[in-house]
Structures are given as structure tokens and as C-alpha cells.
Amino acid sequence: MSEENKDFNTEAKETANEFSEGLNNMAGGENKKMLAGILAIVIGSLGIHKFILGYQKEGIIQIIATIVTCGLAGIIGLIEGIIYLTKSDEEFYNTYQVGRKPWF
């Protein structure tokens, strides 16, 4: 392998790592407060914010509740989004990601 190919491969790997780190930072890395809060407010009735935080069972419950109530259960997502965004980053992380509190 030529020296140019080695340099190119090394640079490509570094760029891929930087891109991956950038995606993690954009999604909040470990703290997904902003993403979960905005999704909860905008499309909370679909329970997407629950899936983002790793609560699959609660996300499915949210979808079913929205279907059964003809969309009225979407208010839960709105309330949760407001709660998520008004908590400090540390409090959100400790409550919803470390403490695994699934509702409100």
C-alpha cells in the first residue's frame, strides 16, 4: 500500500470518528433532553420521545392510548415535553436516564 493510500485511510477514519462524535453531540450525547422535549411537544401523541429515552413499552402505550382516545392522549406528550425542557440538564439526566422514571 502506498504512503498516499495510508494517509487517505487514516484521514478517512479520523473524519468518520469526528462525524460520529458530532452526531452524538447534536442528539445530546448521553443527555437527550432537548431532542426528547421538542419531539414530545411537537409529536408527543406518537410517543417518539419515549423511544428516544429508551422506554419502548411506554412508547407503545402512548401510541395505543392516542389511538383509543382519538388523539386526546397526545396532551400527555405536550405536558412531558414542557416538563423535560424546564428541568436542568443534570436533573433531567438523573431523573429520566439514570433513574429511569417513565412517566412525568
State if pTM tops 0.85. Answer: no
Find out whether 17 and 65 touch, Cβ atoms under 8 Å: no
Closest CA to 88 of 77, 76, 78, 96: 96
Encode pLDDT of 62-95 as tens digits: 999 999 999 899 899 999 999 999 999 889 888 8
Grid coordinates representing 94?
438523573
Residue 15, exposed/middle/buried by CB under 10 A (0-12, 13-18, 19+)? exposed
Residue 31, exposed/middle/buried by CB under 10 A (0-12, 13-18, 19+)? middle
Confidence category of residue 97, pLDDT binned at 50, 70, 90 = confident
Among all chains, which residue has been given the C-alpha cell 419531539?
Answer: 39
